Structure 1
Amino acid sequence: MKQLKQAVIDAFAQRNPNRLAGLTLWNGDGKEEVVADIRYFKRLMSRPLIEVKSTADASSTSSDNDDSDASSLSLSAAPNPTPAHGEALIVQTESDDGSGATAQTRFDVVHRSGCVWLRPQSD
């Protein structure tokens, strides 16, 4: 999980949506959906990255850090495969509305074939 978090941080540092896409499990997604998600990654990476944390990190600080200004974003994806043990990475960026608020995007973490992958959260 630590390596996956660092890989996401590195993708943002390089502003490289294809690098983030390479960490994503696309199993069963159609071409249009994948292209739309990669375009979303590009828009997401145009904002300053504030933090990448796992749900384990988030649950330990959520009671201390209730940000009512944060908006929640998610990408559409097929409901399967499901994340193992409810694991997820939460990417926090500045919002794109100029308000100074933050936005969060949640990626489920999926274990497949001995690898750990991101999976955009289903609506």
Structure 2
Amino acid sequence: MIRAIVLLLLLFLALPAAAQTAIHRCVGADGSPVFSDQPCTSVGATSLLPLPATSASSGEPTAGLLCAKDLGELRDGLVQAFAARSANRVGGLILWNGYGSAGAVENLRAMEALVHRPLVALEGNEGTGIDAVTSAPGGAGATRRAHFDVVRDSGCLWLRPPA
């Protein structure tokens, strides 16, 4: 009788672990984040997780984790986001700790307008932050600066939304 109770108890404890479904973190073809219960390749996206060591060592390209290891990678990511006119890509470079969903949405809307302006230059460094210097669409008019603070967290460099 005690064995049956212990066995039943163990089965109940294992039940939640069996019910959990893996969530795959992916990047869609347009650069937007995709979360799915299916493997990334089955939904036409690229995995955010690094490939197993055997694939990575074979020379195949990997998406890796979306995290800038140095200032050059952070700048490149920002340049690519402007080239794609993608506020979501800029959002992927931002450390969102401390921002609620309303604050994040508000910042992404502001960045949507920002990335549609031609990027003239990126100025600054890790200590002073990065200024994205943009011109008016069509190249006419004065330039504008959007200042991003740069922070280091978990071995990566991240941007903070412009103030």
Distance 2:121 2:90 in 1: 15
1:44 to 114, 130, 137: 114
Structure 1 segments, 4+ long, off by >2 Å, are none
Does 2:54 correspond to 1:13? no
Q: What's the offset of the Cα at 1:54?
A: 1.9
**What TM-score comes out, normalization by structure 1 length?**
0.68
Aligned to 2:93: 23
Query: What amino acid maps onto 2:150 in structure 1?
Result: V
Q: Distance in 1 between matches of 2:106 and 2:162?
A: 14
Structure 1 residue runs without a partner (length 5+): 56-84
How many percent identity over aligned positions?
A: 40
- Counterpart residue number, 2:127: 86
Question: For residues 1-123 of structure 1, what are the structure 2 equivalents within 5 Å?
Answer: 1-55=71-125, 86-95=127-136, 100-122=141-163
Q: Greater relative contact order (Cα 8 A, min sep 6): structure 1 or 2?
A: 1
Name stretches of at least 5 consecutive residues in structure 2 with no aligned partner.
Answer: 1-70
Shift of 1:99: 5.9
How large is the Cα RMSD of the aligned pairs?
A: 1.8
Structure with the larger helix share: 2
- Give the TM-score normalised by the residue count of structure 2: 0.52
